[in-house]
Amino acid sequence: MAEILVVDDDRKTVDLIKLYLEHAGFGVRVAHDGERALELVGERAPDLVVLDLMLPKLDGLDVCRALQAVKFVPVIMLTARTTEGDKLDGLDCGADDYVTKPFSPRELVARVRAVLRRARAVAGETAEVRAGDLVVDPHLQEARLRGERIRLTPREFNLLRILSSEPGRPFTRMALMERAFGYDSDSLERTVDVHIANLRRKIEADPAHPRYLVTVQGIGYKFVME
């Protein structure tokens, strides 16, 4: 049984989400502020976190960044902020999906299942990809550069995993969205560019002239072995 950590300072919202998740067969723990959320994760990592953006003590973006720095845990951001900039901030910090308030509890449960399916699919892969000094390891869900682990968000790792699984193949932004984020995701194609830019800063010696993640004009991106 997958365990979900629900983090929101609105206790009625937490109770509603908890009710629907438990009815769907999930185990649920709850936190009402950012500091408590990180304490619970430190005690036992959940399979997924439903995380409100506006929290006391430590806001959702800071919690998300701290979480992705130490744990590979999928995150669904839950917030009343609806602008494109807010959504990009949430996804850029490492969230796997973004649900705006007011929301349908049934839709949230469906998104939880979809994100968990994608995370399990990644965990089920075992073949390493080696390209020069870069290693992409789906089994450990990590990438290493010159032997050192690179801190990647789940979305960044998913993009790198998919691109590196078929070196030389050009992927459109829409194809990357569908395979990395899921058909159910309402993300913008522009978010792919944001994540690719972040990946290049982390794995490329010269992000302006990438060696691994190459732009294919008029199409999207491809992974180059050498």
Residue pLDDT, tens place only, 178-197: 777 764 444 566 788 888 99
Lowest mean pLDDT among 60-69, 195-204, 212-221: 60-69
Q: Which domain holds residue 170?
A: 126-223
State pLDDT tens for residues 34-93: 999 999 998 888 999 999 988 888 888 888 888 876 667 888 988 876 666 666 666 667
> DSSP letters of the chain?
--EEEEE-S-HHHHHHHHHHHHHTT-EEEEESSHHHHHHHHHHS--SEEEEESS-SSS-HHHHHHHHHHH----EEEEES--SHHHHHHHHHTT-SEEEESS--HHHHHHHHHHHHHHHHHHHH----EEETTEEEETTTTEEEETTEEE---HHHHHHHHHHHHSTT--EEHHHHHHHHT-TT----THHHHHHHHHHHHHH-SSTTS-SSEEEETTTEEEE---
Among residues 107, 122, 137, which one ends one of the domains? 122
pTM of the model: 0.62
Residue 13 shares a structural domain with residue 116: yes
CATH number for 140:
1.10.10.10
Residue where a domain terminates, one of 122, 137, 156: 122
